[in-house]
């Protein structure tokens, strides 16, 4: 979730005195929290497409093992 | 600023200006309408939901306005977030809004607005530009119903349209909804038929003279740790709208009779519907003690359909 320490500090301050950077910090924190939430909800996205593993054996190896 | 006029005819309880909220109360149960609209009672929880919903809507309207005026995403998002933070700050006490509610807080409100704008950054629904060149956002409307009230003038149908959009070549009203429950197909089915969605489609067609197909429900589920978003359309045909208006006439005349009699009957088959009526615990008591419990358990927060947001 959002970085609560800095967010709490910002949330306790008078918003009428916020700088543009303060607002951007808040937005960035929640944007990060959203990204984390999306990743947690869709863990597949963490790894991306899996590389196809190299086959341990070829069909010829198997046929050979089976004596065929 | 001028004061908002009363929605009631002078010196009476006859409501001449109706929105979907007050009409919905009456349709559900005339007694619920009495407590909510005539007397203006709200639960404390309801006040939290109301404030949360209004600020959420208004912040996204701020964003829509900025975008329609040519501002970029970053500046418009910044304006919307600043709006939320300022609206949830008590200038007198110098403290932030801190409702006693699990999922509806200042933080979840800011989060819901930021996440919405991130989610719909590349929004396929485009805001319609009106003939006067202005974007079709936050449109408060008053519509002559064609149904005469006791003072000879027509009852007014009012409301507040969040946005009119073009989506896949058709025109829709877009209505934002906040929910505490999952956005499943069951959630969207509640809007078909639905008082507000029929009124808003009608208003969009009549007032803005546009061939509106229906309403896109633009929903957010606000949970403690996350906000999720979804959209679903609900369509209305011309004959469905004519039928809705015909039925509305019956409801308004019924409400007029209740107001003249000074008695709003109880519909005791509605108490447990719609998530449970907040006044059930009042109606379950003997009539002579109800006012005492209303005063102690509820807050007064009158609803005015003529209030322009």
**Is the pLDDT confidence value at B191 over 70?**
yes
Alpha-carbon distance of B235 to B215, in angstroms, equals 7
Helix, strand, coil percentages (3-state) for chain A, rounded to 5, are: 65, 0, 35
Chain centroid to CA B175? 9
Beta-strand relationship, B95-96 and B89-90: antiparallel
Q: Which two tokens mark A38?
A: 């999306």
pLDDT, tens digit (0-9, with 9 covering 90-100), for B81-110: 999 999 999 999 999 999 988 899 999 999
Test A30 with B114 for CB contact under 8 angstroms.
Answer: yes
Mean pLDDT computed over every residue of chain B: 94
Alpha-carbon distance of B47 to A32, in angstroms, equals 31
Output the pLDDT for position A52. Answer: 52
How many C-beta neighbours within 10 Å does residue B199 have? Answer: 28
Output the pLDDT for position A67. Answer: 58
| Start-end of H helices in B120-227 | 185-189, 195-207
DSSP string for residues in A52-66 = PPPPSS-HHHHHHHT
Output the pLDDT for position A1. Answer: 47
Contact A2, A30 (CB under 8 A): yes
Output the pLDDT for position A41. Answer: 85
Output the pLDDT for position B161. Answer: 93
**Is the pLDDT confidence value at A65 over 80?**
no
Q: Measure in Å the smallest separation between the Cα of A51 and chain B Cα atoms.
A: 30
Test A27 with B86 for CB contact under 8 angstroms.
Answer: no
Output the pLDDT for position B208. Answer: 72
Strand ranges in B129-262 using DSSP code E only, listed in sequence order:
137-148, 154-167, 170-179, 212-222, 227-235
Is the complex ipTM higher than 0.90?
A: no
Q: What are the residues of chain A with a beta carbon less than 8 Å away from any beta carbon of chain B?
A: 1-2, 7, 11-12, 14-16, 18, 20, 23-24, 26-27, 30-31, 33-34, 37
pLDDT, tens digit (0-9, with 9 covering 90-100), for A9-64: 999 999 999 999 999 999 999 999 999 999 998 766 544 445 455 555 555 665 66
Q: What residues in A contact B106, CB-CB < 8 Å?
A: 11
pLDDT, tens digit (0-9, with 9 covering 90-100), for B145-173: 999 999 999 999 999 999 999 999 999 99
């Amino acid at each position: 979730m959002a970085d609560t320490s800095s967010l709490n500090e910002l949330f306790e301050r008078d918003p009428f005195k916020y700088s543009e950077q303060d607002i951007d910090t808040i937005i960035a924190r929640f944007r990060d929290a959203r990204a984390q939430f999306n990743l947690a909800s869709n863990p597949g996205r963490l790894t991306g497409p899996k590389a196809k593993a190299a086959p341990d054996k070829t069909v010829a190896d198997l046929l050979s093992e089976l004596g065929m | 600023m001028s004061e908002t006029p009363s929605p009631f005819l002078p010196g009476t309880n006859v409501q001449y200006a109706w929105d979907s909220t007050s009409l919905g109360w009456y349709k559900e149960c005339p007694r619920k309408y009495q407590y909510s609209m005539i007397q203006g009672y709200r639960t404390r929880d309801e006040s939290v939901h109301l404030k949360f919903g209004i600020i959420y809507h208004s912040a996204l309207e701020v964003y829509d306005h900025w975008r329609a005026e040519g501002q970029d995403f970053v500046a418009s998002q910044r304006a919307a977030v600043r709006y939320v933070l300022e609206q949830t700050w008590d200038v007198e006490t110098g403290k932030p809004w801190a409702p006693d509610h699990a999922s509806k807080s200042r933080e979840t409100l800011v989060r819901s607005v930021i996440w919405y704008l991130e989610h719909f950054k590349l929004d396929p629904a485009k805001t319609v530009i009106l003939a006067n060149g202005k974007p079709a956002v936050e449109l408060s409307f008053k519509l002559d119903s064609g149904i005469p009230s006791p003072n000879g003038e027509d009852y007014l149908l009012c409301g507040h349209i969040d946005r009119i959009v073009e989506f896949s070549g058709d025109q829709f009203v877009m209505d934002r909804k906040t929910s505490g429950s999952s956005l499943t197909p069951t959630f969207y089915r509640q809007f078909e038929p639905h008082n507000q969605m029929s009124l808003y489609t009608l208003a969009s067609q009549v007032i803005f003279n546009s061939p509106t197909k229906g309403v896109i429900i633009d929903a957010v589920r606000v949970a403690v740790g996350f906000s999720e978003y979804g959209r679903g359309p609900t369509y209305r045909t011309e004959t469905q709208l004519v039928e809705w208006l015909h039925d509305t006439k019956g409801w308004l005349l019924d409400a007029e009779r209740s107001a003249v009699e000074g008695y709003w009957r109880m519909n005791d088959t509605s108490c447990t519907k719609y998530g449970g009526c907040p006044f059930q615990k009042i109606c379950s008591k003997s009539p002579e003690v109800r006012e005492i419990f209303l005063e102690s358990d509820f807050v007064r927060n009158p609803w005015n359909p003529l209030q322009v947001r």
